[in-house]
């Protein structure tokens, strides 16, 4: 199995554990902004420790790249906040993940156009199946209340 596939499956299980922990926080009363903000501190500390112990020399971004990093960071924050808010209101937080992480469809198309990444029949068929799955998930209209989290 290719390294990228192995790493992707490892992350899949890490995200699942991560989401279960966040669901616990939701269940005991933390709101979306608290979950996102309280996670920033250990994330930052872990990143600093990782860079230090791996002796990684960080590339200094240009002014243009710095602007893109800032925009990316703001979008990440907003995205995580909206994900957690959607999960608080959803009948099952996994449904939210399926929808939000389906950005793969747009990523496949955009990166093939912009960066000439591989675009194959399998990718197109997989994207169509994702859309079918999203249609099935979103047909589950029961909305959770904060009492049912």
pLDDT of 146 higher than 60: no
Asked if 86 and 149 touch (Cβ cutoff 8 Å), the reply is no
Tokens found for residue 76: 């990440």
Asked if 61 and 69 touch (Cβ cutoff 8 Å), the reply is yes
Asked if 35 and 25 touch (Cβ cutoff 8 Å), the reply is yes
Query: Quick count: other Cβ atoms within 10 Å of Cβ 93?
Result: 21
Q: What is the pLDDT of residues 81-126, one digit of tens each?
A: 999 999 898 888 888 888 887 787 788 888 888 998 888 888 778 8
**What pTM value is reported for the model?**
0.73
Q: What is the pLDDT of residues 43-93, one digit of tens each?
A: 999 999 999 999 999 999 999 999 999 999 999 999 989 999 998 988 888
């Amino acid at each position: 199995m290719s390294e990228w596939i192995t790493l992707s499956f490892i992350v899949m299980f890490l995200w699942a554990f991560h989401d279960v922990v966040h669901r616990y926080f939701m269940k005991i009363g933390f709101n979306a902004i608290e979950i996102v903000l309280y996670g920033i501190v250990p994330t930052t500390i872990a990143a600093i420790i990782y860079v230090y112990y791996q002796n990684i020399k960080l590339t200094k971004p240009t002014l243009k790249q710095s602007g893109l990093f800032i925009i990316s960071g703001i979008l990440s924050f907003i995205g995580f906040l909206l994900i957690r808010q959607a999960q608080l209101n959803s009948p099952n937080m996994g449904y939210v993940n399926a929808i939000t992480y389906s950005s793969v469809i747009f990523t496949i198309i955009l990166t093939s156009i912009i960066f000439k990444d591989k675009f194959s029949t399998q990718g197109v068929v997989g994207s169509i199946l994702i859309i079918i799955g999203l249609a099935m998930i979103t047909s589950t209209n029961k909305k959770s209340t904060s009492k049912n989290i």
